Amino acid sequence: MISAGACTFLYTISIAYSIECITTTRYKTAVYCLIAVMAFAVLERIITFFSNYFYHKYSNKIMEELNLDLAKQAFKLNSETYNNHNTGEFVQRIVTDPEKIVNSLASIIDYLADVIVAAVMVIYLMTLNVWIALVLLVAIVIGSIIEINRTKVFGKNSYKQRKTLDEINSLTTEIVRSEKDVKSLGLESRLTTVSNKNYNRYRKIRYKTNIVDVGFWTVRDIIIKIFSIAMLILGVYLINGALITLATFMIVYTNNDSLINLVRNIGRISTNLVEVKVSSKRMFSLFDENEFSTEWFGDVNLNNIRGEIEFKKVRFSFKEYKLEPIKSTNKNKTKNPNLEKVLVNKNTVLDNLSFKIKPNTTVAFVGKSGSGKSTILNLMSKMYEVDSGEVLIDGININSLNKHTLRNSISLVNQFPYIFDMTIKENLLLAKEDATDDEIKLAIKKASLDEFVSSLPEGLNTKVGESGIKLSGGQKQRLAIARALLRNSSILVFDESTSSLDNFAQDEVKKSIDSLKGESTIVIVAHRLSTIKNVDHIFFLDDGKICDEGSFDKLFKTNKEFKEMFLTENIKK
């Protein structure tokens, strides 16, 4: 760009000199100047081409690395962060904002070339006469003041616009994913109204942004145009007073638009710089621990996890925060004050909970909805952080374990597992990249998925669609169970993982889980009590506390509430 700017400078000087030669009848010299003009113009374009070539080549690589870095950071965020932010906030920051930065920078490079051309010409015009220089200087100062104020307002409106777009993208994602529920429940009209409300809000913010921008541009262009004409009127008086030559006036006249082009393109550059600033601020907010909290781990590495689990006086609450500026007694308040998380709501789920699970035993947690069953599993796998107390694996606080040890030692099958838009085999290989065909076959057999897979024309190579949309609820859960079994972890956790299965498939999975007894520590949260009849120990929960525990037979005989829960399933003991 520096080389292109040098060519532009020589191009401008050559044109100006050729005009001077023409007005003084030095036609041969004028022709040579115009040939030089052509050469500089061609050279400038060639250099600009290579400038853009290298820019786009490396900027795309930078965008790719930005996307990857942001995606990696998203993996580090804790579950609380995901609970407190919508999908659109992550998608826009990881995918859209880096693209906006690259596109804005590309526009800046394009406009920069035009600014260099206009700036060189304006500077040259300012050297011709002190009064012309004064007019140009005043015009540039006024235009700059208008641009500074415009970009401030544009930045605020642009940030609001992006935030509203986050909400629109989140709602759109939810509508697409819940297509069957939307149709079956007749929600089209209601969701259309909600979508229209969001789009209307976005339209108003965007309209306001554009109208305010147009208003600033109009005022700016009128003022600059007035100064441009004033410069020509001044030129006439200067010729009349023999203070400049006709050749000088012709140079001023032919390059009269350089002033307005300079201010306009500086304005376009500032607009794109604001886009870069807004996008980068949104991207880097993913690294702000106050707004997007990350997981944290210790540095203890264990090679052989036995699978002993213990909770010691564990207390946990779901908390709701909001970000507020840090109050400062300093009179000189900063324009961008630091933010702090302020607790606005708190719901205690577990209070002083203690229990111990022996290695290679199978235990179950049962209780009514909201009793804290799933919360225990999330604390056990460090998806949630305890408020106080300790969660121990093999006698070591899980906060001391490194990520590799903790994540590899526990496999969790959720009630609503996520299946990726890949083949069945590719979904399984996510859990164990080097799994052999025999290991895969064994895993799908244990998960009672083998008959279904064999019935498919493409077998394991069948694509299951986004979120496993081509599979039934039971098939998705069995695939998730097979994926967990393939990891061969020391601790297997099943969170209502058979709730969507029919009785036959549930019985098959139950047999598979039973066959793992003694090989791993198995922890089950069960809605159907019939699935836990053969576990070694049951913890019966009520309101976040263990109100009873023992074998299935013992609880069935001595705990009236447990017995009633079992009998409501209409299954004979």
Token digits for 99?
């693209």
Average pLDDT over residues 239-262: 80
| Per-residue confidence (pLDDT) for residue 171, from 0 to 100 | 82
Binned at pLDDT 50, 70 and 90, residue 184 comes out as low
In this prediction, residues 529-533 reach a mean pLDDT of 79
Site of tokens 């097979």: 482
Whether residues 105 and 222 fall in one domain = yes
Within-domain flag for 301 = no
CATH value at residue 93: 1.20.1560.10
Helix axis angle for 130-177 and 97-128, nearest 10°, is 170
What is the rounded average pLDDT of the residues 450-465?
89
Query: Is 169 part of any domain?
Result: yes
User: Could you tell me the pTM of the whole model?
Assistant: 0.70
- Is the predicted pLDDT of residue 113 greater than 60, yes or no? yes
Question: 194 is in which domain, residue-wise?
Answer: 2-287
CA 359 to the chain's CA centroid: 39
Q: Are 170 and 86 spatial neighbours (Cβ–Cβ below 8 Å)?
A: yes
User: Do 158 and 63 belong together in one domain?
Assistant: yes
Is pLDDT of 336 > 60? Answer: no
- Within this chain, do residues 62 and 201 fall inside the same structural domain, yes or no? yes
From 254, 287, 320, the end of a domain falls on 287
With respect to residue 527, please indicate whether it lies within any of the assigned structural domains: yes
CA 55 to chain centre: 25
Count of domains observed in the chain:
2
Average pLDDT for 546-554: 91
Q: Please check the confidence at residue 249 and state whether its pLDDT lies above 60.
A: yes
pLDDT band at 573 (very low <50, low <70, confident <90, very high): very low
Tell me how crowded residue 101 is: count the other CB atoms within 10 A of its CB. 22
The last residue of one of the domains, among 262, 287, 312, is 287
pLDDT at res. 501: 63
| The length of the chain, given as a count of residues | 573
Q: Mean pLDDT of all residues in the chain?
A: 84
For residue 326, tell me if it sits in a domain.
no
Q: Does residue 333 form part of some domain?
A: no
Mean pLDDT of 512-529: 79
pLDDT classification of 334: cutoffs 50, 70, 90: very low
Q: What is the CATH number of the domain that holds 498?
A: 3.40.50.300
Residues 112 and 230 in one domain: yes
Please report, as a single letter, which amino acid is at residue 492: L
Torsion of CA 70, 495, 353, 349, to 10 degrees: 70
Judge whether residue 341 has pLDDT over 80: no
Q: Using the predicted structure, report yes or no on whether residue 37 has a pLDDT greater than 60.
A: yes
User: How do beta strands 339-357 and 309-325 pair?
Assistant: antiparallel
In this structure, is residue 160 part of a structural domain? yes
Whole-angstrom Cα Rg for the chain: 35
Q: Is residue 299 part of a domain?
A: no
303 domain residue, yes or no: no
Q: What separation in angstroms does the CA of 223 have from each of 114, 136, 260?
A: 21, 12, 10
Predicted confidence band at 38 (pLDDT cuts at 50, 70, 90)? very high
d(CA 360, CA 365): 16
Quickly list DSSP for 406-419. Answer: HHHHEEEE-SS---
Q: Which amino acid is at 499?
A: S
Nearest to 239 by CA among 538, 84, 23: 23
The distance of Cα 430 from the centroid of its chain, to the nearest Å, equals 22
> What pLDDT score was predicted for residue 333?
46
Which residue, 234, 215, 243, is CA-closest to 139?
234
